[in-house]
Chain A
Amino acid sequence: MADGQGPYSQKVMEHFLNPKNMGEIENASGIGEVGNPSCGDVMRLYLKINDQGIIEDAKFMTFGCGAAIASSSMVTEMIKGKTIEEALKVTNETVAEALGGLPPAKIHCSVLAQQAIEAAIKDYKEKKGK
Chain B
Amino acid sequence: MKQIFVDYANACPVDERVFEAMKPYFMEKYGNPSSHIISKGNEALTALDESRKTVAEFLGCESFEIVFTSGATESNNLALKGVFFQNIKNCKHIITSSIEHFSITSPLSTLHRDFGVKVSYVPVDNNGFIIEDAFRKALSADTAIISIQLANNEIGTIQNIKSLVKIAKDFNENIIFHCDACAAAGLINFNVRDLGVDLLTISATSLYGPKGVGALYVRKGVLLKPILEGGFQEGGVRSGTENVPAIIGLAKAAEIAKKEMSQRISYLSKLRDRLMDGIEKNIDFVHLTGHRTERLPNHYSFWVEYAEGESLLLMLNHLGVMASSGSACSSNLRAKDEDELIASPVLKAIGVPSDICTGSLTFSLGMKNTEENIDYILEIMPKIVERLWQMSPFYLDRIKGHTPKLTKADK
Q: Which residues of A come within 8 Å of B, CB atoms?
A: 6-8, 13, 16-17, 19, 22-24, 33, 38-44, 60-69, 103-108
* Smallest beta-carbon distance B342→chain A, Å: 9
Task: Assess whether B334 is interfacial by the CB under 8 Å rule.
Answer: yes
Enumerate 11 A-B pairs (CB-CB under 8 Å) in ascending A order. A8-B314, A17-B315, A22-B391, A39-B358, A61-B393, A62-B392, A65-B310, A65-B327, A105-B336, A106-B338, A107-B337
Could you say which of B308, B328, B340, B394 has the most chain A C-beta atoms within 10 Å of its C-beta? B308
Contact A61–B310 (Cβ < 8 Å) = no
Task: Assess whether B317 is interfacial by the CB under 8 Å rule.
Answer: yes
**With the chains together, A114 CA to B406 CA distance in Å?**
34
Chain B stretch 310-361: residues in CB contact (< 8 A) with chain A: 310-311, 314-315, 317-318, 327-330, 332-341, 343, 354-356, 358
What chain A residues lie within 8 Å of B394 (beta carbons)?
42, 63
What chain B residues lie within 8 Å of A7 (beta carbons)?
333-334
Contact A16–B336 (Cβ < 8 Å) = no
Question: Given contacts A63-B392, A64-B311, A65-B330, is CB(A105)–CB(B358) below 8 Å?
Answer: no
What chain B residues lie within 8 Å of A43 (beta carbons)?
393
Contact A40–B328 (Cβ < 8 Å) = yes
Could you say which of A22, A62, A64, A65 has the most chain B C-beta atoms within 10 Å of its C-beta? A65
What chain A residues lie within 8 Å of B333 (beta carbons)?
6-7, 103, 105-106
Could you say which of B335, B338, B358 has the most chain A C-beta atoms within 10 Å of its C-beta? B338
Contact B338–A108 (Cβ < 8 Å) = yes
Question: Given contacts A38-B328, A63-B306, A65-B311, is CB(A105)–CB(B335) below 8 Å?
Answer: yes
Contact B337–A105 (Cβ < 8 Å) = yes
Question: Given contacts A40-B328, A63-B392, is CB(A69)–CB(B311) below 8 Å?
Answer: yes
Contact B341–A105 (Cβ < 8 Å) = yes
Could you say which of B329, B332, B338 has the most chain A C-beta atoms within 10 Å of its C-beta? B329
In the A-B complex, the 3 residue pairs with the smallest Cβ-Cβ separation, listed nearest first, are A65-B329, A7-B333, A105-B335
**With the chains together, A13 CA to B354 CA distance in Å?**
26
Task: Assess whether B131 is interfacial by the CB under 8 Å rule.
Answer: no
Contact B354–A61 (Cβ < 8 Å) = no
Task: Assess whether B88 is interfacial by the CB under 8 Å rule.
Answer: no
Contact B311–A38 (Cβ < 8 Å) = no
* Smallest beta-carbon distance A45→chain B, Å: 10
What chain B residues lie within 8 Å of A40 (beta carbons)?
308, 328, 343, 354-356, 358
* Smallest beta-carbon distance B391→chain A, Å: 6
What chain A residues lie within 8 Å of B315 (beta carbons)?
17
Which residue of chain A has its CB nearest to the CB of B314?
A66
Contact B341–A38 (Cβ < 8 Å) = yes
**With the chains together, A38 CA to B337 CA distance in Å?**
12
Task: Assess whether B390 is interfacial by the CB under 8 Å rule.
Answer: yes
Task: Assess whether B396 is interfacial by the CB under 8 Å rule.
Answer: yes
* Smallest beta-carbon distance A11→chain B, Å: 14
* Smallest beta-carbon distance B238→chain A, Å: 35
Contact A66–B311 (Cβ < 8 Å) = yes
Contact of B317 among A6, A33, A63 (CB under 8 A): A6
* Smallest beta-carbon distance B380→chain A, Å: 13
Contact A33–B391 (Cβ < 8 Å) = no
Contact A44–B393 (Cβ < 8 Å) = yes
Which residue of chain A has its CB nearest to the CB of B336?
A104
What chain A residues lie within 8 Å of B356 (beta carbons)?
40
Contact A17–B338 (Cβ < 8 Å) = no
What chain A residues lie within 8 Å of B332 (beta carbons)?
105
* Smallest beta-carbon distance A80→chain B, Å: 18
Which residue of chain A has its CB nearest to the CB of B335?
A105
* Smallest beta-carbon distance B318→chain A, Å: 6
* Smallest beta-carbon distance B327→chain A, Å: 8
Which residue of chain B has its CB nearest to the CB of A111?
B338
Contact A39–B328 (Cβ < 8 Å) = yes
Contact B329–A42 (Cβ < 8 Å) = no
What chain B residues lie within 8 Å of A38 (beta carbons)?
328, 338-339, 341
Question: Given contacts A39-B338, A105-B338, is CB(A33)–CB(B393) below 8 Å?
Answer: yes
Contact B341–A17 (Cβ < 8 Å) = no
Question: Given contacts A40-B354, A69-B311, A105-B332, is CB(A61)–CB(B338) below 8 Å?
Answer: no
**With the chains together, A48 CA to B311 CA distance in Å?**
28
**With the chains together, A66 CA to B392 CA distance in Å?**
13
* Smallest beta-carbon distance A88→chain B, Å: 22
Question: Given contacts A40-B354, A40-B355, A103-B333, is CB(A63)–CB(B391) below 8 Å?
Answer: yes
Contact of B396 among A6, A16, A17, A24 (CB under 8 A): A24
Extra contacts, 10 of them, besides A40-B328, A105-B338 (Cβ < 8 A), are A38-B339, A39-B338, A39-B343, A40-B354, A43-B393, A61-B393, A64-B308, A68-B329, A69-B311, A105-B341
* Smallest beta-carbon distance A76→chain B, Å: 12
What chain B residues lie within 8 Å of A24 (beta carbons)?
396
Which residue of chain A has its CB nearest to the CB of B340?
A105
Could you say which of A22, A24, A61 has the most chain B C-beta atoms within 10 Å of its C-beta? A61
